[in-house]
Amino acid sequence: MSRTRLDRVRASLGIAQLALQQIEDDLSADDVDARELAAILRELQEDIDVPGGLFPALAQLVSAAARRAEQLEPDRDGDASCPLHEAAALLTDNAGQRLNWAARSLDPQGDVE
């Protein structure tokens, strides 16, 4: 295992965790109203700086791991890759869609903007 690669992954995850903690802190603020919460939820799903948003980006990362697992599985039985492909689908199909539903419930007019 490449120690440098694992170190880069750990460092990147640390940065991501700090960023997510900041978002969690913003979500917990007493002055967040329904419209702002809906906008934040939409941003997590539809961020223009990250094509497709946070959940699709996470799904893409998990899909990359699944593709690599397919190549590494000795008998190509899918024991490792199938759960990864399923996890990626759950992120986009399930988690992402549920964020959209919640945002619409909080601010139905926000979809029009």
Q: How does pLDDT run along the chain (113 residues), one tens digit per residue?
A: 577 999 999 999 999 999 999 999 999 999 999 999 999 988 887 755 556 678 888 999 999 999 999 999 888 888 999 999 999 999 888 888 888 899 999 999 876 55
Q: Using a CB cutoff of 8 Å and minimum separation of 24, what contacts does 58-63 make? A: 58/91, 59/88, 59/89, 59/91, 59/92, 60/88, 62/87, 62/88, 62/91, 63/88
pLDDT of 66 reads: 95
Angle (CA) 27 25 91, round 5°: 60
pLDDT of 99 reads: 86
pLDDT of 67 reads: 94
Contact assessment for residue 27 and residue 99, using Cβ atoms and an 8 Å cutoff: no
Residue 15 tokens read as 């940065």
pLDDT of 54 reads: 83
